Amino acid sequence: MFGAGVKPRVRPGGRGAGFTLLELLVAVGVFSILAAIAYSALQTVLSTREHTDEQMQHLAQLQTAFTVMERDIEQTVLRSVRDEFGTSLPALLSNVDSGTIIELTRMGWRNPTSLPRSYMQRVAYGLKDHTLVRRYWRELDRTQQSVPLESDLLSDVNGVEARFLDSTAQWQTQWPPLTASNQPSANVGLPKAVEITVDTKYWGKITRLFRVPG
């Protein structure tokens, strides 16, 4: 039954009328526009999520790098070592020319399997292909066969700087600090604190201050 005054559209032969070609074209056009809008919105959401995830990964990497550096620097001990050529190296040093940002001897090297080795560890930090790396040696006094083990800490690094607070509360850009004759000071011990500045691609320059025991 149809309402009063309303006549159904019929095709020839008495069948109910379907959509016309124009109506189909309009419907398809509207659907295409809505689909394009939905796709654009979805792409924006996915792109934002991808960017956020990437930033979170870099932030977690940055925090991990500083945590590892803090663990090493704040367990520094006054123990000099010998390199592979037999040269005596101070307990803590920096040598930017050789790519070493900081190298030190630290305590607290865990030994859960009771291996025949020291609980002290010699570690170094350097910049390699825009990546902050940590190196350590299995022994304190190295031999010609000693090879450091290396792990990447932080990628996309533009540069790393270190400063050292001496016993007179003066900041030094090298440790051991240079004397008036431009030679490294002898028997200066350890600095009071170490300041590390990392210039990153995503976060700019980040500075952390670490105290040195003793």
Domains and CATH numbers, the chain: 70-211 (3.10.610.10)
What is the DSSP annotation of 3-37? -TT----B-TTSPBP---HHHHHHHHHHHHHHHHH
Q: Are 189 and 176 spatial neighbours (Cβ–Cβ below 8 Å)?
A: no
The pLDDT score that the predictor gives to residue 42 is: 77
Q: How confident is the model at residue 168 (pLDDT cuts 50, 70, 90)?
A: very high
Mean pLDDT of the chain: 85
Q: Are 190 and 76 spatial neighbours (Cβ–Cβ below 8 Å)?
A: yes
Answer whether residue 149 shows pLDDT above 90.
yes
What's the average model confidence in pLDDT over 138-151? 92
Answer whether residue 63 shows pLDDT above 60.
yes
Other CB atoms within 10 Å distance of the CB of residue 53: 10
Of residues 59 and 114, which shows the higher confidence score?
Answer: 59
Answer whether residue 169 shows pLDDT above 90.
yes
Of residues 197 and 39, which shows the higher confidence score?
Answer: 197
Give the containing element (helix H, strand E) for 60.
Answer: helix 21-73
pLDDT above 70 coverage of the chain, percent: 86
82-113 pLDDT, tens digit each: 999 999 999 999 986 677 899 999 998 887 77
Taking alpha carbons only, the member of 196, 127, 194, 125 closest to residue 159 is 127
